[in-house]
Chains A and B, each alone.
Chain A
Amino acid sequence: MRYVPGPKLKAGILFAAVALIVILLATLMAPVIIPILLASILYVLLEPLVSGLQRRGMNRVPAILVVLGGLLSGAVLISVAATPVLAHQFGLLRQRLPEAWAEVSAFITRTEHWMAASLGVEREGSLVMDRMTGILEAWPGQAVGVLSGWIALAAVWVITVPLVGFFLLRDWRSLRNMIIGLTPNRYFEVVLGIYHRVAFQLMTYFRGVMVQSGVMVVITTTGFWLVGLPMAPILGIIAGILNIIPYVGPMLGIAAPVLVALTAGSGVDGYLGILGVVLVAQLVDNIFVIPSVIARAANIHPLMALLGVIVAGSFFGLMGMVFAIPVLSSSRIVYRGLLAGVERHPLH
């Protein structure tokens, strides 16, 4: 008797084929994939503003130019205002670093002595200090390399992301219609339906993430200002943006305020204050923002989300972590849509 695969297997094979095509495209476009992804996020965020201007009677291209122009002008103004402050803070950090390092090493030595006296844990030399000294000695050279690489990349992105964003806002609909139009008649409405469900899910998710980031910026900025940390708005914005990275972002968000607290010589109270602000922000995020804004949009099991973020992070780094949850939730919609289509119109 001839084996006839069931609809689930057929949908699985189709899904694997779609995933393979997406991975192949992503591999081919690897050098420009990050600017394209960032421009796509820009598209998702700016599209409602462009549509809003269109509703008020403006044509699409002028509306795009007004919205993009406004965003870029705002970014330039913020950069111009922030650069002298940042330069001053980096200068302070450089001056204060040896002193801060002495404080940290004294604290570690005290802790190791305490461990040796009370717990009997004794080592020849200090393992922690040796490692940290090694890291700090290598750090300036590595940091210059990494920083110059990031600056070069950022310079390319500053030009490419708004440019790609402009073309996406202007031409995405016709390009999308052309691509979906290639679908065979029998599966056309199925594919169109899947596309719109995925697009809706992604838009809801990324807009939710932006709302989440905004809330985090407000809480951390206010908190840092209340505990007397210099550059509170900049540190708040950094913490809010890093919060986009699931699970790891909040921890990374502590690094910059701690460095600034070091330069300001805030002492233990300052560090505890930072920790308190970050904890309050995380409580608000996990109790109010995530359940009401993100969870509905992501619509996947928390354990699946956690595993997805870890796996994507190990393969694709921070960008993988940012996109793991939306990719997982979209995959779910695509598979279910394909299954419904295959059940209705079996493939032969």
Chain B
Amino acid sequence: MAVKSELPIWLNLFRHAGDWQAQAAEMFARTPLFEDIPLRTLRRLVNEMYHRNFADGELVFEVGDPGLGMYLVLKGGVSVHLDKEPLAQLGPGDFFGEVALFGNETRTASASAHGETELVGFFRPALEEWVDRSPELGARFLLKLGHVLAERLRRTNERLVQAENG
């Protein structure tokens, strides 16, 4: 997949933050990860997240990169791929890269922007701080994260079995 050049760094200086926080909080609330978390808490938590802009085709991360956290697609799209093999096409409200929230894992697939894309990154240091500050809510989130990862593992196993059976 062709990787296009990044947006100029100076654009980050003048980019209007807008209301991405409110939009991101509502989108995160609709994901299975945050469904048990009150919207008020999510709005505060979003202030610890990072809003990133990507040009069409720009790499978000590459397989093997050290991962620091997950991303939510706010606008545009993201294609997840491994060795040029497309794995998933994600749109607004979808999230990816959540395995990296668990530890110093390297990225298991590559992700690149599909069209002009806005992402919100939720990274391990913010998660650790949140779990420390609100252990009960943090535990609920980690439980959900465990469920999501287990579900993905189950689906991958099913695909492997299907592939083996022809």
Contacts and interface: CB of A to CB of B under 8 A. Distances in A.
B77 interface: no
B123 to A, nearest CB: 6
B94 interface: no
Interface string B45-66: 0011011111000111100111
Contacts, number: 55
A185 B47 contact: no
B52 A188 contact: yes
Interface string A306-344: 000000000000000000000000000000000010001
A193 interface: yes
B134 A192 contact: no
Interface of B: 6-7, 9, 12-13, 47-48, 50-54, 58-61, 64-69, 121, 123, 125, 132-134
B54 A185 contact: yes
B7 A185 contact: yes
B133 A189 contact: no
Contacts of B13: 182
B123 A181 contact: no
A177 B50 contact: yes
A7 to B, nearest CB: 15
B134 A55 contact: yes
A123 interface: no
Interface SS of chain A: helix
A220 to B, nearest CB: 34
A340 B64 CA distance: 12
Interface string A149-189: 00000000000000000000000011001001111111011
Query: Lowest 7 A-B CB distances belong to which pairs?
Result: A196-B125, A189-B68, A182-B12, A185-B6, A184-B9, A193-B68, A184-B6
B6 A186 contact: yes
A185 B52 contact: yes
Given A54-B133, A192-B123, A196-B125, A182 B9 contact: yes
A40 interface: no
Contacts of A174: 47
A178 B88 CA distance: 31
Contacts of B59: 185-186
A51 interface: yes
Nearest to B44: A60
Nearest to A188: B52
21 contacts: A51-B132, A173-B47, A173-B48, A177-B47, A181-B51, A182-B9, A182-B12, A183-B9, A185-B6, A185-B58, A185-B59, A186-B6, A186-B59, A188-B121, A189-B67, A189-B69, A189-B121, A192-B68, A192-B123, A192-B125, A344-B64
Interface in A179-213: 180-186, 188-190, 192-193, 196
Contacts of B61: 189
B66 A193 contact: yes
Contact of A340 (B52, B60, B66, B133): B66
A189 B66 contact: yes
A51 B68 CA distance: 23
B47 A181 contact: no
A51 B65 contact: no
B95 to A, nearest CB: 16
A193 B66 CA distance: 9
A196 B127 CA distance: 12
A185 B60 contact: yes
A169 to B, nearest CB: 14
A105 to B, nearest CB: 60
Nearest to B106: A344
A2 to B, nearest CB: 23
